[in-house]
Protein backbone atom coordinates (compact mmCIF):
# COMPACT_ATOMS: atom_id res chain seq x y z
CA UNK A 1 0.00 0.00 0.00
CA UNK A 2 2.78 2.41 0.90
CA UNK A 3 4.71 1.58 -2.24
CA UNK A 4 1.59 2.21 -4.33
CA UNK A 5 1.10 5.63 -2.74
CA UNK A 6 4.77 6.41 -3.29
CA UNK A 7 4.50 5.48 -6.95
CA UNK A 8 1.46 7.70 -7.37
CA UNK A 9 3.24 10.67 -5.78
CA UNK A 10 6.31 10.11 -7.94
CA UNK A 11 3.98 9.85 -10.94
CA UNK A 12 2.57 13.28 -10.14
CA UNK A 13 6.09 14.71 -9.84
CA UNK A 14 7.09 13.07 -13.12
CA UNK A 15 4.03 14.56 -14.80
CA UNK A 16 4.95 18.02 -13.54
CA UNK A 17 8.50 17.57 -14.83
CA UNK A 18 7.36 16.31 -18.23
CA UNK A 19 4.90 19.19 -18.56
CA UNK A 20 7.22 21.83 -17.09
CA UNK A 21 7.29 23.75 -20.36
CA UNK A 22 3.50 23.84 -20.39
CA UNK A 23 3.49 25.18 -16.82
CA UNK A 24 6.14 27.82 -17.53
CA UNK A 25 4.55 28.96 -20.80
CA UNK A 26 1.13 29.18 -19.09
CA UNK A 27 2.61 31.41 -16.36
CA UNK A 28 4.30 33.59 -18.98
CA UNK A 29 1.11 33.86 -21.08
CA UNK A 30 -0.92 34.71 -18.00
CA UNK A 31 1.39 37.60 -17.20
CA UNK A 32 1.24 38.87 -20.78
CA UNK A 33 -2.56 38.67 -20.86
CA UNK A 34 -3.00 40.35 -17.49
CA UNK A 35 -1.01 43.42 -18.49
CA UNK A 36 -1.85 43.57 -22.19
CA UNK A 37 -2.20 47.18 -23.41
CA UNK A 38 -1.06 48.47 -20.03
CA UNK A 39 1.70 51.05 -20.19
CA UNK A 40 2.94 50.25 -16.69
CA UNK A 41 2.68 46.49 -17.24
CA UNK A 42 3.97 44.37 -14.38
CA UNK A 43 4.47 47.42 -12.17
CA UNK A 44 0.78 47.10 -11.25
CA UNK A 45 1.71 43.96 -9.29
CA UNK A 46 3.71 46.25 -7.01
CA UNK A 47 1.61 49.42 -7.15
CA UNK A 48 -1.66 47.80 -6.03
CA UNK A 49 -0.42 46.19 -2.78
CA UNK A 50 1.83 49.13 -1.91
CA UNK A 51 -1.07 51.56 -2.32
CA UNK A 52 -3.11 49.43 0.08
CA UNK A 53 -0.28 49.51 2.60
CA UNK A 54 -0.02 53.30 2.20
CA UNK A 55 -3.72 53.69 2.97
CA UNK A 56 -3.43 51.57 6.10
CA UNK A 57 -0.29 53.42 7.16
CA UNK A 58 -1.92 56.84 6.77
CA UNK A 59 -5.03 55.78 8.68
CA UNK A 60 -3.50 53.78 11.52
CA UNK A 61 0.10 54.98 11.88
CA UNK A 62 -0.59 57.70 14.46
CA UNK A 63 -2.76 55.35 16.49
CA UNK A 64 -0.73 52.14 16.41
CA UNK A 65 2.87 53.09 15.62
CA UNK A 66 3.63 53.92 19.26
CA UNK A 67 2.44 50.45 20.29
CA UNK A 68 5.04 48.62 18.22
CA UNK A 69 7.63 47.03 20.51
CA UNK A 70 11.23 48.16 19.98
CA UNK A 71 10.23 50.61 17.23
CA UNK A 72 13.21 52.90 16.73
CA UNK A 73 12.36 54.17 13.24
CA UNK A 74 9.52 56.55 12.49
CA UNK A 75 8.59 54.34 9.54
CA UNK A 76 8.49 51.19 11.69
CA UNK A 77 4.74 50.84 11.38
CA UNK A 78 4.94 50.95 7.58
CA UNK A 79 7.67 48.27 7.72
CA UNK A 80 5.43 46.21 10.00
CA UNK A 81 2.53 46.49 7.55
CA UNK A 82 4.66 45.61 4.54
CA UNK A 83 6.06 42.50 6.21
CA UNK A 84 2.64 41.21 7.21
CA UNK A 85 1.11 42.00 3.84
CA UNK A 86 3.95 40.25 2.04
CA UNK A 87 3.01 37.01 3.80
CA UNK A 88 -0.75 37.45 3.65
CA UNK A 89 -1.02 38.44 -0.01
CA UNK A 90 0.79 35.30 -1.11
CA UNK A 91 -1.36 33.17 1.18
CA UNK A 92 -4.69 34.68 0.12
CA UNK A 93 -3.79 34.77 -3.60
CA UNK A 94 -2.96 31.05 -3.74
CA UNK A 95 -6.14 30.10 -1.86
CA UNK A 96 -8.38 32.43 -3.86
CA UNK A 97 -7.07 31.22 -7.20
CA UNK A 98 -7.07 27.53 -6.26
CA UNK A 99 -10.66 27.97 -5.12
CA UNK A 100 -11.90 28.53 -8.69
CA UNK A 101 -9.12 27.01 -10.80
CA UNK A 102 -11.01 23.83 -11.75
CA UNK A 103 -14.25 25.67 -12.50
CA UNK A 104 -12.47 28.25 -14.64
CA UNK A 105 -10.53 25.57 -16.52
CA UNK A 106 -13.43 23.14 -16.83
CA UNK A 107 -13.62 23.33 -20.63
CA UNK A 108 -9.88 22.81 -20.93
CA UNK A 109 -10.06 19.76 -18.66
CA UNK A 110 -12.79 18.25 -20.86
CA UNK A 111 -11.17 18.94 -24.23
CA UNK A 112 -7.50 18.26 -23.57
CA UNK A 113 -5.64 15.36 -22.04
CA UNK A 114 -2.97 16.66 -19.67
CA UNK A 115 -1.99 16.12 -16.02
CA UNK A 116 -4.56 18.05 -13.97
CA UNK A 117 -1.93 18.64 -11.28
CA UNK A 118 -0.35 21.22 -13.59
CA UNK A 119 -3.27 23.60 -12.92
CA UNK A 120 -2.46 24.26 -9.23
CA UNK A 121 1.24 24.28 -10.18
CA UNK A 122 0.55 27.17 -12.57
CA UNK A 123 -1.33 29.02 -9.82
CA UNK A 124 1.52 28.56 -7.33
CA UNK A 125 4.16 29.57 -9.89
CA UNK A 126 2.29 32.71 -10.90
CA UNK A 127 1.61 33.69 -7.28
CA UNK A 128 5.27 33.17 -6.36
CA UNK A 129 6.33 35.38 -9.26
CA UNK A 130 3.98 38.13 -8.06
CA UNK A 131 5.32 37.76 -4.54
CA UNK A 132 8.92 37.86 -5.75
CA UNK A 133 8.46 41.25 -7.42
CA UNK A 134 6.62 42.57 -4.38
CA UNK A 135 9.42 41.31 -2.14
CA UNK A 136 12.00 43.19 -4.18
CA UNK A 137 9.90 46.36 -3.88
CA UNK A 138 9.54 45.87 -0.12
CA UNK A 139 13.29 45.41 0.34
CA UNK A 140 13.87 48.53 -1.77
CA UNK A 141 11.49 50.57 0.41
CA UNK A 142 13.17 49.26 3.55
CA UNK A 143 16.59 50.36 2.36
CA UNK A 144 15.36 53.79 1.19
CA UNK A 145 13.69 54.53 4.54
CA UNK A 146 16.51 53.40 6.77
CA UNK A 147 15.89 49.72 7.48
CA UNK A 148 19.31 48.19 6.92
CA UNK A 149 19.42 44.92 5.00
CA UNK A 150 20.89 41.95 6.88
CA UNK A 151 21.40 38.25 6.24
CA UNK A 152 18.63 37.56 8.76
CA UNK A 153 16.14 38.80 6.19
CA UNK A 154 16.96 35.78 4.02
CA UNK A 155 14.82 33.76 6.43
CA UNK A 156 11.95 35.07 4.33
CA UNK A 157 12.79 32.43 1.69
CA UNK A 158 11.96 29.32 3.80
CA UNK A 159 9.05 31.24 5.33
CA UNK A 160 7.68 31.79 1.83
CA UNK A 161 7.93 28.04 1.28
CA UNK A 162 5.82 27.46 4.42
CA UNK A 163 3.20 29.97 3.27
CA UNK A 164 2.92 28.30 -0.14
CA UNK A 165 2.54 24.83 1.36
CA UNK A 166 -0.17 25.97 3.77
CA UNK A 167 -2.06 27.95 1.12
CA UNK A 168 -1.81 25.17 -1.47
CA UNK A 169 -3.05 22.52 0.96
CA UNK A 170 -6.05 24.62 1.99
CA UNK A 171 -6.71 26.03 -1.48
CA UNK A 172 -6.61 22.70 -3.30
CA UNK A 173 -9.02 21.08 -0.82
CA UNK A 174 -11.43 24.02 -1.12
CA UNK A 175 -11.04 24.11 -4.91
CA UNK A 176 -12.05 20.44 -5.21
CA UNK A 177 -15.00 20.84 -2.84
CA UNK A 178 -16.09 24.00 -4.67
CA UNK A 179 -16.66 21.98 -7.85
CA UNK A 180 -19.34 19.93 -6.08
CA UNK A 181 -20.69 22.60 -3.72
CA UNK A 182 -20.51 26.08 -5.24
CA UNK A 183 -21.50 27.80 -1.97
CA UNK A 184 -17.93 27.27 -0.83
CA UNK A 185 -16.75 29.76 -3.45
CA UNK A 186 -19.03 32.38 -1.90
CA UNK A 187 -18.13 31.68 1.72
CA UNK A 188 -14.33 31.45 1.49
CA UNK A 189 -13.69 35.14 0.56
CA UNK A 190 -15.69 36.16 3.65
CA UNK A 191 -13.69 33.76 5.82
CA UNK A 192 -10.42 35.13 4.40
CA UNK A 193 -11.49 38.67 5.30
CA UNK A 194 -12.27 37.60 8.86
CA UNK A 195 -9.04 35.61 9.02
CA UNK A 196 -7.07 38.67 7.90
CA UNK A 197 -8.38 40.77 10.76
CA UNK A 198 -7.78 37.99 13.29
CA UNK A 199 -4.12 37.96 12.26
CA UNK A 200 -1.81 40.72 13.59
CA UNK A 201 -1.02 42.37 10.27
CA UNK A 202 -2.59 45.83 10.55
CA UNK A 203 -2.27 45.92 14.32
CA UNK A 204 0.47 44.66 16.68
CA UNK A 205 -0.39 41.66 18.84
CA UNK A 206 0.49 43.80 21.84
CA UNK A 207 -2.92 45.49 21.73
CA UNK A 208 -4.73 42.15 22.22
CA UNK A 209 -5.59 41.60 25.92
CA UNK A 210 -3.25 39.02 27.43
CA UNK A 211 -6.17 36.85 28.52
CA UNK A 212 -7.09 36.33 24.84
CA UNK A 213 -3.66 36.06 23.25
CA UNK A 214 -3.55 32.29 23.67
CA UNK A 215 -6.29 32.08 21.03
CA UNK A 216 -3.81 33.33 18.44
CA UNK A 217 -1.93 30.04 18.77
CA UNK A 218 -4.80 28.35 16.92
CA UNK A 219 -4.27 30.61 13.91
CA UNK A 220 -1.54 29.05 11.71
CA UNK A 221 -0.95 32.35 9.93
CA UNK A 222 -0.15 33.99 13.26
CA UNK A 223 3.13 32.07 13.54
CA UNK A 224 4.01 32.78 9.91
CA UNK A 225 3.19 36.50 9.99
CA UNK A 226 4.93 36.92 13.37
CA UNK A 227 8.01 35.30 11.87
CA UNK A 228 7.91 37.72 8.92
CA UNK A 229 7.80 40.56 11.46
CA UNK A 230 10.70 39.10 13.44
CA UNK A 231 12.82 38.76 10.32
CA UNK A 232 11.95 41.90 8.36
CA UNK A 233 11.13 44.42 11.09
CA UNK A 234 13.11 43.43 14.18
CA UNK A 235 16.03 41.73 12.41
CA UNK A 236 15.70 38.58 14.52
CA UNK A 237 15.57 34.92 13.59
CA UNK A 238 12.05 33.46 13.64
CA UNK A 239 10.77 31.04 16.27
CA UNK A 240 11.75 27.82 14.49
CA UNK A 241 9.52 25.53 16.57
CA UNK A 242 6.34 27.45 15.77
CA UNK A 243 7.14 27.65 12.06
CA UNK A 244 8.07 23.95 11.99
CA UNK A 245 4.70 22.99 13.50
CA UNK A 246 2.80 25.06 10.93
CA UNK A 247 4.92 23.64 8.11
CA UNK A 248 4.24 20.08 9.30
CA UNK A 249 0.49 20.82 9.33
CA UNK A 250 0.83 22.31 5.85
CA UNK A 251 2.58 19.18 4.54
CA UNK A 252 -0.22 17.00 5.91
CA UNK A 253 -2.82 19.24 4.24
CA UNK A 254 -0.95 19.11 0.91
CA UNK A 255 -0.73 15.31 1.03
CA UNK A 256 -4.43 15.04 1.89
CA UNK A 257 -5.35 17.49 -0.87
CA UNK A 258 -3.36 15.44 -3.42
CA UNK A 259 -5.08 12.27 -2.24
CA UNK A 260 -8.48 13.98 -2.54
CA UNK A 261 -7.53 15.37 -5.94
CA UNK A 262 -6.57 11.93 -7.24
CA UNK A 263 -9.81 10.39 -6.03
CA UNK A 264 -12.06 13.20 -7.31
CA UNK A 265 -10.30 14.14 -10.55
CA UNK A 266 -12.41 12.01 -12.92
CA UNK A 267 -15.67 12.90 -11.17
CA UNK A 268 -14.82 16.61 -11.30
CA UNK A 269 -14.63 16.47 -15.09
CA UNK A 270 -18.10 14.90 -15.22
CA UNK A 271 -19.57 17.55 -12.91
CA UNK A 272 -17.93 20.40 -14.82
Q: What is the pLDDT of residue 97?
A: 93
Q: What is the pLDDT of residue 144?
A: 79
pTM of the model: 0.85
Q: Where are the domains of the chain?
A: 2-271
Q: What is the mean pLDDT of residues 35-62?
A: 68
Q: Residue 62 — very low, low, confident or very high, per pLDDT cuts 50/70/90?
A: low
Predicted confidence (pLDDT) at residue 258 exceeds the cutoff of 80: yes
Q: What is the pLDDT of residue 220?
A: 94
DSSP assignment of the chain, as one string? Answer: -HHHHHHHHHHHHHHHHHTHHHHHHHHHHHHHHHTTT-SSGGGHHHHHHHHHHHHHHHHHHHHHGGGSTT--STTHHHHHHHHHHHHHHHHHHHHHHHHHHHHHTHHHHHH--S-TTHHHHHHHHHHHHHHHHHHHHHHHHHHHTT----GGGGGHHHHHHHHHHHHHHHHHHHHHHHHH-THHHHHHHHHHHHHHHTSTTSS-GGGS-HHHHGGGGG-HHHHHHHHHHHHHTS-----HHHHHHHHHHHHHHHHHHHHHHHHHHHHHHHH-
Predicted confidence (pLDDT) at residue 43 exceeds the cutoff of 80: no
Q: What is the mean pLDDT of residues 83-97?
A: 94
Amino acid sequence: MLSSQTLKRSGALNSLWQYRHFVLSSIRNEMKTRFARSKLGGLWMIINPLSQVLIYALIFSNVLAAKLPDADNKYSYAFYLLAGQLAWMLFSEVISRCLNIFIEQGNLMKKMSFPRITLPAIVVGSSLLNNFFLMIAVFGIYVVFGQAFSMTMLWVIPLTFSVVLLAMGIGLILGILNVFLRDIGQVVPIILQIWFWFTPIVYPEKIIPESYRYLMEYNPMYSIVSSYHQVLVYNQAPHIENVAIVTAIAVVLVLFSLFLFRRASAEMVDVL
